[in-house]
Structure 1
Amino acid sequence: MSEFLSKPMNRRQTLAALSTGAASLTLAACGGGIPDDMAVIPPPPPGTGGAPSGASALLDSVAENLLVHSPEGATALGIDTGARAAMRGQLSDRSPAGVAALAETLKADLARVRAVDTVGLDHQARTSLAVVDSAYSTALDGFALPYGDVAVGGWRNTPYVVIQNVGAYLDVPRLLGSDQPVKTSADAEAYLSRLAAFPDVLDGETERLKSAGAQGLIAPAFLIDKAIPQMEATLADARGGGTLADSLASKAREAGLAGDWGARATAMAQGPVAAALERQIAALKAQRPQATMDAGMWARPGGDEWYAWGLRASTTTRMTPDEVHQMGIDQLAELHGRMDPILRKLGYTQGSVGARMQALANDPRYKFPEGDKGREEIKAYIQTWLAKIRAELPRAFRTLVKGNVEVKRLPLAEEPGAPAAYGGAGSIDGTIPGKMWINLRTTDLHSKYSLPDLVMHEAIPGHVWQGEYANQMPLIRSMLAFNAYSEGWALYAEQLADELGLYDDFEVGRLGYLQSLAFRACRLVVDTGIHAKRWTREEGVKFFVERNGSNPLEVASEVDRYCSWAGQACGYKVGHSEIVRQRSRAQAALGAKYDLRDYDNIVVEGGNVPLDVLAKNVDEYIAEAKG
């Protein structure tokens, strides 16, 4: 998940690229180690990337203008230094005025990009300009809608400003606790500056929350009921000083900094931050009596229009809800056809594929122990599979990045509303490692046959791996991400692990991989079912459990996520299917000249792109390989 510090995904990119602020940018990373004999791409200085000087300067200018609106992004990328040092103490403006200012910046920079004469520019420069055009024009269409958060070249588009997986009440504590560096007194002051700005950020969101409510845009009752306890947990933590103060005190202590840092942070948290959280909670509670149990956008004012845009932003296609829905049904049938013989081989012969997968999920051979013992086993198991995939990567890529990743448990306050895991790459310079965030609220969320596939998706060769290639590009390309590509690549990474033989002696792991793809096919059906076909939340959960044998504990949060991130879940399988289709096209066109390593590098080194740009990149690869 896959995307700057924000909400659980994927996301995804991820992220996970994770996202914070009105502009969702993309995390990228380094850290870890690989054998000395592997070819490794060193990161270039930010802002370079091979474009002619005029185009390069324009792209750098566009990047700087976007960073002004999302200073958290500069921290996530590790570039909040030098001329950008002030950004380390700033937060995005989430007020109506802040959102309007961002939209104006996008409009002006889109005009500059479209005015460029691309004749004579190299491939990378043309691609980068096309990426900015696509991201900005799609975002501006989103800003023209009457409500919601818009991810600028990111994955987290949502009609709801604050809900169970959306809002500064989640984003800012995670940013300060995880990525905020504190090595000097100036860093500690920057931490306090961000903490001091937190109340205004919350109030800006609250103003937009009230504005949307006045237009009749009220989140489903079950999402509000999930969000309020989480917000109250953040409030209780702030009232006690809690993690906001403890994190600064701990970081300052580790850096050997003298001073009353913890006490100063406590005063801010207990005073202005707590008061702003109280106002936000009161505003959401005031909307609860008007809320209904209707899950989809069809039940919201202008909801059909919003969903059409959300689906387009997520898939970077013009597919209709009906087309996406049918694609999911067809692919689910095909994948279940591949799962059936494996289940029979394992002794599961009776009932539907979904019923047999439910039975498999209860097999004690594949369960982790409960409690902290099981949590530690899960972390160790992840490291085992990371080592296995690292050994095979030279067979799949012509050039390699480091693939440095840190496995971390999700913050406790976030776990109830989060998916099983998400991940994303870290900073351009490697000072902030890539992360695989794992949800450990209960060990029953994970099994020994499904966790390896999750590792491939979130870490290597998925989100962390792809993000490091993105960091070799002009800065704007490290910042912009497209959900269909990000998540499509992560699913393709799962496929690569199977093709590289990781499950040849662990066939139940292959079953976990196929169930993962089937899960994403289910998403196409359920997301469109909820938002366009008037399914209930319960119908969505039931489809996953009965048709795919999915874990009910995981699925409940998944379906809630689709309700708040309308359309986002459809990008995964649409993107994966297109990457595989383009690979088949390259194989057919090149015959004996085709090499998996070349194709994979073309896709990953081409950067995060909309699917039509991906097709153009493959066109150029085919033409060049033919000679």
Structure 2
Amino acid sequence: MIDRRRLLLTAAAGAGLAASGQVLAQEAPATTPVAQLNDWMDRVFKELVMTSPEILTSLGFDKGPMAAAKGQLDDRSQAKIDADEVKFNSFADELMAIDRSALSGRDAVNYDTVKFFGETVQISQGFDYGTGNSPYTISQLSGSYSNIPDFLDSQHSIETAEDAEAYLSRLSAFPTALDQETERMLADFAAGAIPPDFVIDKTLLQLANLHDTPASQSIMTTSVQRRAIEKEIPGDWAARAERIVQGEIYPALVRQAEAMKARRAEAVHDAGVWRLPDGEAWYTYGLRNSTTTTMTGEEVHQMGLEQVAELTARADGLLRAEGMTQGTVGQRIAAMGKDQRFIYPNTDEGKAALLADLNLQMQDMQERLPEYFGRIPKSPVEVRRVPVFTEAGAPGGYYQGPALDGSRPGAYYINLRDTAEWPKWTLPTLTYHEASPGHHHQIALQQENDEAPLLLKILGFSAYSEGWGLYAEQLADEMGVYADDPWGQIGYLQSLMFRATRLVVDSGLHHKRWSREQAIRYMVDTLGDQESAVTTEVERYAVWPGQASSYKIGHTEWVRMRASAKAALGDRFDIRGFHDTGLAVGGVPLTVLDRVITDWVASQQA
């Protein structure tokens, strides 16, 4: 994934292609603040569109005038990042020169959104280590070693021999990307940002899984072979890919692993970012970056404790209604998790049955949506397995947005390393979070909104999108999906409890200085989850400080705004209008969303 510092620039650049397919013509200088803002977006596109070939592919714009990008990977060197930083700051200065007081409505929303983003990115520039939302360039969750093979398989389309050649060109560029990140990783180490020992061990395991796989069986080889056969494209694609993988990519993976192993003895077991240089300031940045609020670690921790207590009491009532009265709520949920009637066999057949059930849940939800939304996404969504070579450290589920040009659907990924981690009562709420009415619904609508500026079709904030994902889980319950499924409703409440414990554990690790083991034990005891799944979660929070807090903080704000709107409008409150208004604005900071909803309420009152 492209470095977050460059996302504002490359996002605007990629989005601009949807309008023109080529560089915009030079126009007369803008004079009004509105024109200046639009001109600013256009020039970001014109001057920086070529910085991310991978973004162009992700958006479906690596065609026509931009076809050359399809054979390239992003430049991950520190020199490129430094150059982009200079450009970014220049654009940020220009944005600040625009008269904000002269903007209103959607223009004000656009300005405030990109201004917040720019200010947050500039805070991150003050640290000598890390990229975007992580203090570590390479971890079990970040790095081209895990991103590029999946990117090539799932996003690089192959329809022609030229596409297959571009695939091989990208394979040949992969070792350079790995070496560039290895150099940046070593710079992190020199600045005092060595990951915890358990992060290094998990990362080394995943690197080994990748380079120890016979090159002929690597996904990098089999992907081009499979798709060339499907499209009846003649050529020795598999053999050529295998030579690149074995002779060029695997040595670069080994170099990266050896560089990490060389510093393993210096790693400590402390999980929190507090131990790094300016670590407390990094966590303050991480919370702002992910939650789009000014909440402190202490405030996050207290919110988490209060919400865990409230949700646990609700879950207790549902469990008692099903005759489960003995033990803590966590112990009773743990017993549900071990009940074999809820467990799919951990076999290929069992995993296929699990995926089939997810598809049925998605179809059922699709029929319910029109009662709650005026706008329904046109883009479909598919359920996919997390790639086997990264499933050991990958999250349980995540979403990948569709291509802007419609060439690729949205994708809802589920980690099937062990079906015991997914009792049947946990799956519906995951589906509603990742697909509809959750991430796919929100992101597809954001991209399909013809009235939204192109930049706002791409830019996003975790608190908005993940908060919506949790709100979607709550909405599904309100839609009645659990009317005949009390176990599924318990699963829904346990999901909310899970996100509330994230507030406690994220702030526990990075503010309260909890150990990894303390965080794992707290989550297992509170939720009754499998320790293997919880361990993956806690290790995720260790490398993404603040991100885990964005979910429940965002959800709390979505719910608060809806309650405030209902109180103000009474019988005139329209749930479809509330949803359409909140989603039409695209991904924005929570403060901006609050103003949008407030303005909508005022318009309804008028």
- Specify the alignment match of 1:76 in structure 2: 58
Instruction: State the alpha-carbon separation in 2 of the partners of residues 64 and 525 from structure 1.
Output: 44
1:530-588 deviation digits (Å, cap 9, x = unpaired)? 11111111111111111122232211100010011111100000001011111111111
Letter in 1 for 2:207: M
Q: State the Cα distance separating 1:205 from its structure 2 match.
A: 0.7
Q: State the Cα distance separating 1:121 from its structure 2 match.
A: 5.0
Higher relative contact order (CA closer than 8 Å, sequence separation 6+)? 1
- Aligned pairs for 1:24-423 (under 5 A) are 46-47=18-19, 55-63=37-45, 65=47, 67-118=49-100, 121=103, 123-150=105-132, 157-237=133-213, 239-240=215-216, 242-402=218-378, 404-423=380-399
Answer whether contact 2:562 2:578 (CA < 8 A) is retained: yes
Report the 3-state secondary structure (helix = DSSP H, G, I; strand = E; otherwise coil) of the residue aligned with 1:209: helix
Answer whether contact 2:494 2:527 (CA < 8 A) is retained: yes
Instruction: State the alpha-carbon separation in 2 of the partners of residues 376 and 262 from structure 1.
Output: 27
Instruction: Determine whether 1:478 maps to 2:457.
Output: yes
Letter in 2 for 1:434: G
Instruction: State the alpha-carbon separation in 2 of the partners of residues 336 and 85 from structure 1.
Output: 54
1:497-521 deviation digits (Å, cap 9, x = unpaired)? 0011101111211111111011000
- Judged with a 3 Å threshold, the aligned counterparts in structure 2 of structure 1 residues 21 and 584 are, in CA distance, closer, same or farther, namely closer
Answer whether contact 2:397 2:413 (CA < 8 A) is retained: yes
Letter in 1 for 2:502: R
Instruction: State the alpha-carbon separation in 2 of the partners of residues 221 and 99 from structure 1.
Output: 27
- Specify the alignment match of 1:602 in structure 2: 581
Q: State the Cα distance separating 1:20 from its structure 2 match.
A: 6.9
- Specify the alignment match of 2:565 in structure 1: 586
- Judged with a 3 Å threshold, the aligned counterparts in structure 2 of structure 1 residues 204 and 584 are, in CA distance, closer, same or farther, namely same
- Judged with a 3 Å threshold, the aligned counterparts in structure 2 of structure 1 residues 193 and 232 are, in CA distance, closer, same or farther, namely same
Letter in 1 for 2:588: V
- Judged with a 3 Å threshold, the aligned counterparts in structure 2 of structure 1 residues 402 and 25 are, in CA distance, closer, same or farther, namely farther
Answer whether contact 1:74 1:87 (CA < 8 A) is retained: yes
Letter in 2 for 1:269: V
Q: State the Cα distance separating 1:420 from its structure 2 match.
A: 1.4
Instruction: State the alpha-carbon separation in 1 of the partners of residues 103 and 64 from structure 2.
Output: 30
Instruction: Determine whether 1:616 maps to 2:566.
Output: no
1:322-373 deviation digits (Å, cap 9, x = unpaired)? 0000000001111112111110011111222111111121222222222112
- Judged with a 3 Å threshold, the aligned counterparts in structure 2 of structure 1 residues 120 and 608 are, in CA distance, closer, same or farther, namely same
Instruction: State the alpha-carbon separation in 2 of the partners of residues 69 and 238 from structure 1.
Output: 33
1:40-88 deviation digits (Å, cap 9, x = unpaired)? xxx999349xx96654443243245554333211111112223322222
1:196-238 deviation digits (Å, cap 9, x = unpaired)? 2211111111111111111221111111111102101222247
Report the 3-state secondary structure (helix = DSSP H, G, I; strand = E; otherwise coil) of the residue aligned with 1:406: strand
**CA RMSD between the two structures:** 2.2
Instruction: State the alpha-carbon separation in 2 of the partners of residues 94 and 544 from structure 1.
Output: 36
Report the 3-state secondary structure (helix = DSSP H, G, I; strand = E; otherwise coil) of the residue aligned with 1:417: coil
- Specify the alignment match of 2:499 in structure 1: 520
Instruction: State the alpha-carbon separation in 2 of the partners of residues 430 and 228 from structure 1.
Output: 37
Instruction: State the alpha-carbon separation in 1 of the partners of residues 157 and 3 from structure 2.
Output: 16
Letter in 2 for 1:610: P
Report the 3-state secondary structure (helix = DSSP H, G, I; strand = E; otherwise coil) of the residue aligned with 2:413: strand
Letter in 1 for 2:116: S
Structure with higher helix content: 2
Answer whether contact 1:241 1:265 (CA < 8 A) is retained: no
Instruction: State the alpha-carbon separation in 1 of the partners of residues 16 and 42 from structure 2.
Output: 14
- Aligned pairs for 1:555-594 (under 5 A) are 555-594=534-573
Report the 3-state secondary structure (helix = DSSP H, G, I; strand = E; otherwise coil) of the residue aligned with 2:424: coil
The size of the alignment, in residue pairs, is 588
- Judged with a 3 Å threshold, the aligned counterparts in structure 2 of structure 1 residues 518 and 63 are, in CA distance, closer, same or farther, namely farther
- Specify the alignment match of 2:23 in structure 1: none
Report the 3-state secondary structure (helix = DSSP H, G, I; strand = E; otherwise coil) of the residue aligned with 1:413: helix
Q: Which runs of 5+ in 2 are unaligned?
A: 21-32
TM-score in terms of structure 2 length = 0.93
Letter in 2 for 1:208: R
- Judged with a 3 Å threshold, the aligned counterparts in structure 2 of structure 1 residues 447 and 332 are, in CA distance, closer, same or farther, namely same
Answer whether contact 2:3 2:131 (CA < 8 A) is retained: no
Letter in 1 for 2:123: D
Instruction: State the alpha-carbon separation in 2 of the partners of residues 235 and 317 from structure 1.
Output: 41
Instruction: State the alpha-carbon separation in 2 of the partners of residues 437 and 26 from structure 1.
Output: 27
- Judged with a 3 Å threshold, the aligned counterparts in structure 2 of structure 1 residues 86 and 474 are, in CA distance, closer, same or farther, namely farther
1:426-445 deviation digits (Å, cap 9, x = unpaired)? 11122111001111111111
Q: State the Cα distance separating 1:383 from its structure 2 match.
A: 0.9
- Specify the alignment match of 2:28 in structure 1: none
Answer whether contact 2:9 2:45 (CA < 8 A) is retained: no
- Specify the alignment match of 2:29 in structure 1: none
Answer whether contact 1:530 1:536 (CA < 8 A) is retained: yes
Moved more, 482-491 or 132-141: 132-141
Instruction: State the alpha-carbon separation in 1 of the partners of residues 604 and 72 from structure 2.
Output: 47
Instruction: State the alpha-carbon separation in 1 of the partners of residues 428 and 591 from structure 2.
Output: 31
Report the 3-state secondary structure (helix = DSSP H, G, I; strand = E; otherwise coil) of the residue aligned with 1:407: strand
Letter in 1 for 2:205: P
Report the 3-state secondary structure (helix = DSSP H, G, I; strand = E; otherwise coil) of the residue aligned with 2:581: helix
Letter in 2 for 1:127: V
Letter in 2 for 1:624: S
Instruction: State the alpha-carbon separation in 1 of the partners of residues 254 and 8 from structure 2.
Output: 29
Instruction: State the alpha-carbon separation in 2 of the partners of residues 516 and 235 from structure 1.
Output: 36
Q: State the Cα distance separating 1:112 from its structure 2 match.
A: 2.7
Answer whether contact 1:26 1:478 (CA < 8 A) is retained: no
1:251-274 deviation digits (Å, cap 9, x = unpaired)? 222223223333322222222222
Instruction: State the alpha-carbon separation in 2 of the partners of residues 309 and 21 from structure 1.
Output: 13
Moved more, 564-573 or 55-64: 55-64
Letter in 2 for 1:79: F
Answer whether contact 1:416 1:441 (CA < 8 A) is retained: yes
Q: State the Cα distance separating 1:403 from its structure 2 match.
A: 5.0
